[in-house]
Structure 1
Amino acid sequence: MNLARLAAEAEARGTPVRAGLIGAGKFGSMFLAQVPTIKGLAVAAIADLDPDRARRACHTVGWDEGRVAATAFLDDGAALAARDDVDVVIEATGNPRAGITHARAAIAAGKHVVMVNVEADVLAGPALAQEARAAGVVYSMAYGDQPALVSEMVDWARATGFHVTAAGKGTKYLPAYHAVTPDDVWSHYGLTAEEAAAAGMNPQMFNSFLDGTKSAIEMVAIANACGLDVPVAGLAFPPCGVDDLAHVLRPREAGGQLDRRGMVETVSSLERDGRPVFRDLRWGVYVVFEAPNDYAAACFRQYGLPTDATGRFAAMHKPFHLIGLELSISVLSAALRDEPTGQAREMRGTVAAVAKRDLKMGEILDGEGGYTVWGKAQPVAQARTALPIGLAHGVAMVRDVARGTVLSFDDVAIGNDPVADLYRGLTGT
């Protein structure tokens, strides 16, 4: 409630929060668009594999020449993390290996880290958070993206004394989407390949949103941050509108569709026959919570909170998330309050790589959103030997596997891999 005031005071002192951005894609560009209107926040440096692209992004979002000239542009994220004029490092590359490397470089240099890169967080978030605490800096989820927004809602529910039953987000989902590849992704978005290319849209990235992988990554990130459980069978993606959240997302014993209380789940904006769900939550987030006593349940009804038929379970939702437009909340919170906007605490879940088609020995996996695998949310206890989607890129199959198989470490040639070793250490593999 006081971030704007704290930031304005920092501006008045002549000590604005100085951010360094690694990765000038869509998320990063949306953040950059807001910076000129936020008192007490400056971007000192931007790192991108293509610094000229980063400069163009600044011009595209409306930066004037003076602001662009005052910003350093680099092609090395680790070098950005070491700069003396950076207080908070924003990791927005989307590459899990790069994200872990950049976060560790920033922590070693005494910088706060805002991890937009959820792919990196589900591989090593608890370890990075512990390293940050030991170094006296903050490791944080990125506000504006669903995991941080859901973490905030879960914290609100618990801090007000309610029992969290379920938490998650909405998306567009049908079971057939698990097999979609970058070749046929655009038809599901109502675009031609030419229209998508003209807009600079990456087919593999957008396919990850569609084939269930991104939802799995985000739900596991929420589970790891909030101490919630991942469904044993993976996300069910039940069709559900905002009016039915408290009815659908309660335990089966109470008439709902969850295995038990305290779960993550993604709801679909499509019925299984393809019809749109009434008042869907495609772009939003939610939390379902249970009254701890009869008095609180009566208050739900008296004050108009939407509940299930019993009146015991209630839901709150936010119908949108604005990703990079809201990212400054995390940057300012880390620098001015030493507080993360959500943080991985333990490895409760993982995202296992599942074969999209029959795979042959010698084939090279192409990772998230690609042609070979999709990511399935799993409890760590049931999937310790599963190959995580973040490591299923650029590695060769060492034997044939059938479509639908959850890949294991034994199915691929990992070799000497520090990131794999870090993940194995966290999951007890």
Structure 2
Amino acid sequence: MTLSRQLAKRAEENRPVRVGLIGGGKFGSMYLTQARLTKGIHILGIADLNPSRLRETLKRAGWPDEQTDTSSFPAAIQSGRTFITESAEDLITADGLDVLIDATGDPAAGIRHALMAFENGRHVVMVNVEADALAGPLLARRAEAAGLVYSLAWGDQPALIADHVDWARACGFKVVCAGKGTRYLPSYHHLTPDTVWDTLQTYLALKDPNQINLKMFNSFLDGTKSGIEMTAVCNATGLIPQDDGLAFPPATRFELSSVCKPKTNGGTLTRTGTTEVVSSLYRDGTDVPHHLAMGTYVVIEAETDYARQCFTEYHMLEDDSGQFAALYRPTHMIGMELGWSVASAALRGEPTGTAVGFHSDVVATAKKSMTAGEMLDGEGGFTVWGKQCPATASLAAGYLPLGLSHNVKLTRDVAEGQMLTWGDVVLDESDSAYLFRRKMEKEFG
């Protein structure tokens, strides 16, 4: 039975899938605008540290005031309304909760919330890809041991890319490369929250920097978010990062199979079976026509002459040799598509992408030369950006994961472009996120 029919049946039986959301930001608000209209779904509660801002978000997402409940979770169950709270713990432990969505963007919080959810028998949809990049393989293992689902978030690009890979392999194709598009120039690695606004104004219709979270937007441009997302893809699919991480080559949608193939075949990749993010800008700053800035793709290889013939006959986006071809999705709708993950976890017991191994890491990399004693400020900040790296190389060199690079002090001078190591910083070794990450390295290393 299809997911929509199963949800409709749950609605008819008055036993909806009860969902809890932590974090009412952009992703959460986009989910909420559709969740209210989805048969068989009851948003039991939303946890956010700023309830007044959350109420404004709900209003913008089309929620009438009478849809929320201010008394208790049991009252929300009886009324079919949604309880608003500041306490993530209260939400996770509420009776009747089936699926927890973490949309906080904080890796330490995401790990903590997921582990608590597993202890209380809840499936987890991890919108917080930062947490997945830091410790997703061990979170997935903990969920499996508890008989629960730990899932990437459909609508966000990592889950869509993992689905491309699954499609290709289920059809017997060799996966050469998978990834997404973005806006990129090499100079973007040096962007900070103070300088990113000038770049954002060149292509977004924004008038006031106070409208947005500049640190978050900076993460998308300085290369960090791409490294995080492709790490989630690799860990969910077994693809291996390129030797020096992402190169961000410019490519149109129709050039994907020519650009994203191995160098030995005339492309740009250092290996086959990897990830790459293509840029919507040429290196001189001009726009790539028919770019894939909001989309996702997979490049596959034809291993027989007949398969190459079929690529041509059915107008696949081939390279000149006919050996490689691409399939792409032009856009993604982030939270508005998240319901697919929720339904899949609750009704089929299946994730829409989940970590199956530790194949990729995201390494804190210096944006500038810094001296001992300076403080790092993590993702999207002034000091470091996140570079994708093969997990084996990260473990061998002792590289510092980006997810643990916030509010930590340098122990020695570092050069611009240097990939930092554990020994370059002072870390709180009693911190739960640090301990969980170290445990993951031991179990998967």
TM-score if structure 2 supplies the norm length?
A: 0.94
Q: CA deviation at 1:404?
A: 1.2
CA contact (8 A) 2:280 2:293 kept: yes
Q: CA deviation at 1:198?
A: 4.6
Q: CA deviation at 1:427?
A: 2.9
Aligned to 1:73: 84
Aligned to 1:426: 440
Aligned to 2:111: 100
Q: CA deviation at 1:197?
A: 3.6
Amino acid at match of 1:236: A
Q: How does 1:262-411 map to 2 (within 5 A)?
A: 262-384=273-395, 385-411=398-424
Q: Deviations over 1:125-174 (max 9, x none)?
A: 11111111111110000000000000111100000110000000000000
| Whole-angstrom CA distance in 2 between matches of 1:123 and 1:427 | 10
| Whole-angstrom CA distance in 1 between matches of 2:418 and 2:165 | 33
Q: Deviations over 1:103-135 (max 9, x none)?
A: 011111000000000000011111111111111
TM-score if structure 1 supplies the norm length?
A: 0.97
Q: How does 1:189-228 map to 2 (within 5 A)?
A: 189-190=200-201, 195-199=207-211, 201-228=212-239
CA RMSD of aligned residues (A): 1.5
Confirm whether residue 415 of structure 1 aligns to residue 428 of structure 2. yes
SS of the aligned residue for 1:300 comes to: helix
CA contact (8 A) 1:55 1:68 kept: no
Distance change (3 Å), C-alpha of 1:222 and 1:196: farther
CA contact (8 A) 1:248 1:256 kept: yes
SS of the aligned residue for 1:304 comes to: coil
SS of the aligned residue for 2:325 comes to: strand
Unaligned runs of 5+ in 2: 70-80
Aligned to 2:157: 146
| Whole-angstrom CA distance in 2 between matches of 1:102 and 1:274 | 41
Q: CA deviation at 1:359?
A: 1.4
Q: CA deviation at 1:259?
A: 1.2
CA contact (8 A) 1:186 1:193 kept: no
Aligned to 1:51: 51
| Whole-angstrom CA distance in 2 between matches of 1:378 and 1:213 | 12
CA contact (8 A) 2:197 2:209 kept: no
Aligned to 1:131: 142
Q: CA deviation at 1:382?
A: 1.1
Q: CA deviation at 1:291?
A: 1.5
Q: CA deviation at 1:65?
A: 2.2
| Whole-angstrom CA distance in 2 between matches of 1:10 and 1:208 | 40
| Whole-angstrom CA distance in 1 between matches of 2:272 and 2:416 | 32
Distance change (3 Å), C-alpha of 1:378 and 1:393: same
SS of the aligned residue for 1:98 comes to: helix
Distance change (3 Å), C-alpha of 1:405 and 1:87: same
| Whole-angstrom CA distance in 1 between matches of 2:313 and 2:156 | 33
Q: CA deviation at 1:196?
A: 3.5
Further displaced range: 413-422 or 309-318: 413-422
Aligned to 1:232: 243
SS of the aligned residue for 1:37 comes to: coil
| Whole-angstrom CA distance in 1 between matches of 2:144 and 2:114 | 13
CA contact (8 A) 1:380 1:427 kept: no
Further displaced range: 80-89 or 25-34: 80-89
Aligned to 1:61: 61
CA contact (8 A) 2:177 2:298 kept: yes
CA contact (8 A) 1:234 1:377 kept: yes
SS of the aligned residue for 2:381 comes to: coil
CA contact (8 A) 2:308 2:323 kept: yes
| Whole-angstrom CA distance in 1 between matches of 2:369 and 2:262 | 36
Amino acid at match of 1:195: K
Q: How does 1:113-192 map to 2 (within 5 A)?
A: 113-190=124-201
| Whole-angstrom CA distance in 2 between matches of 1:238 and 1:258 | 10
Q: CA deviation at 1:66?
A: 2.2
SS of the aligned residue for 1:195 comes to: coil
Q: CA deviation at 1:194?
A: 8.6
| Whole-angstrom CA distance in 2 between matches of 1:228 and 1:315 | 17
| Whole-angstrom CA distance in 2 between matches of 1:258 and 1:368 | 26
CA contact (8 A) 1:354 1:374 kept: yes
Q: CA deviation at 1:195?
A: 2.8
Moved beyond 6 Å, runs of 4+: 191-194
Aligned to 2:78: none
CA contact (8 A) 1:78 1:101 kept: no
Aligned to 1:22: 22
Q: CA deviation at 1:214?
A: 0.3
| Whole-angstrom CA distance in 2 between matches of 1:103 and 1:221 | 16
Amino acid at match of 1:177: Y
SS of the aligned residue for 2:317 comes to: coil
Q: Deviations over 1:282-306 (max 9, x none)?
A: 0000000011322222111111111
Distance change (3 Å), C-alpha of 1:158 and 1:194: closer
| Whole-angstrom CA distance in 2 between matches of 1:197 and 1:254 | 45
